[in-house]
Amino acid sequence: MNRRTPATRTRVGKYELGKTLGEGNFAKVKLAKNVETSDFVAVKVLSREHLLQHKMVEQVMGSKTKIYIVLELVDGGELFDLIAKQGRLKEDKARMYFQQLINAVDYCHSRGVYHRDLKPENLLLDSYGVLKVADFGLSAFSQQVREDGLLHTACGTPNYVAPEVLTDKGYDGTAADIWSCGIILFVLMAGYLPFDDPNLMNLYKKIQNGSFVTPSWFSSGARKFIKRILDPNPLTRITISEILQDEWFKKDYHPPSFAEESDVNLDDVDAAFDDSEENLVTERREKPVSMNAFELISGSQGFSLESLFNREPGTVKRETRFTSQCPANEIVSKIEEAAKSLDFNVRKQNYKMKLQGHASGRKGRLSVATEVFEVAPSFHVVELRKTGGDTLEFHKFFKNFSSGLKDVVWKSDSNDEDSKL
């Protein structure tokens, strides 16, 4: 009888690292468990060189090559997923999320931080449904403002970017973020974008003209409010202080309360950049052999099969999963075969794979990371995450990709329809 080899895990200080929650060009975010308190956190892993280059100061721990930033674990999914599932939200619910968004953005601006890439994909919900702003990879600080008082780097996601950002004449980070908030509010209430066109130049013309039509189900107060936000002239666009006084916005509004800020303790930061052995964290090589209970439950609310299988293509998120009773090497082979049939490049490392499309989409080439976890010798969980490209293009890819995996997806004897990929 073969004896199972125990999974080797990475230990960072008092945190045991688990599965990858997401990754970008410069960093990877992993689920982690505080071994002293059993609390779950998210740990962002990035290179020391990148951290030094951008002068980031957070609660950090360091190894010889990496920096680990310990963050709050936000496990309620993206606001984007809510829209994809429901189509559009009722006005009161949309207003509630928008109020939280404005509170968060106002707080950032008061600290001299401009997000510059606000969109539903970058808005997370915690387990209580409280909105959190994430992904500050394109953010700017007030110190980056030039002598003319403006920012000059054009960035953001085309459908959400303010018209003045496209002119290459400089823009105010506060006004640009407010525009993006207005687009988000429109999408929440309408279920679609106010400015959209497959041709990028046509899209930019629509944005710069600021011409859009509000759906018939918008209340008159909502129509007037959104038009004040989506004003193509940043000088006459509504400000956050004016937003807070708007009658439509103020309905059921709860002003934020912030805890007193304490002095930042830089001991951990200093230690992270100290090359002495005593300050280096313990690292052990990861081996994707098994998925333990806390990782499995954290990814499937209440461990219901409904969260493991996506019934409709429209509910596919940036991360999705399925289960299989096939051997791990067979699962990997089927994934490779299905990806190549869709003209995707495949890179393999043990039971991890990276798939990248040849064609360039709206946000570059679509990239997907997959990983096979062993729950039991004859039961595996397979995760797929979008790591680059457009989320809607990932939905289309997943629909075609999943049809090539039907032979390896576990099907329940009691309800075959409920266990489809």
- The answer to whether the CB of 238 falls within 8 A of the CB of 174 is no
Helix (H) or strand (E) holding 105: helix 91-110
Residue showing tokens 């096939």: 326
Question: So which residues are the catalytic ones?
Answer: 117
SS3 259: coil
Residue showing tokens 């459908």: 159
- DSSP letters, 242-278, are HHTT-HHHHTT------PPPPPPP-HHHHHHT--SGG
Would you say 396 is a known binding-site residue?
no
The two beta strands, 344-349 and 140-141, are unpaired
Distance of CA 203 to the CA centre of its chain: 24
Distances in whole angstroms, Cα of residue 157 to Cα of each of 103, 118, 123, 143, 164: 22, 8, 14, 23, 14
Measure the CA–CA gap between 404 and 327, rounded to whole angstroms. Answer: 17
Q: Give me the sign of the Cα torsion angle 147, 153, 154, 157.
A: negative
- Please enumerate in sequence order all residues whose Cβ is within 8 A of that of 205, keeping only pairs 6 or more positions apart, or say none: none
Residue numbers in the known binding site are 44
Q: Which residues are annotated as a binding site for ATP?
A: 44
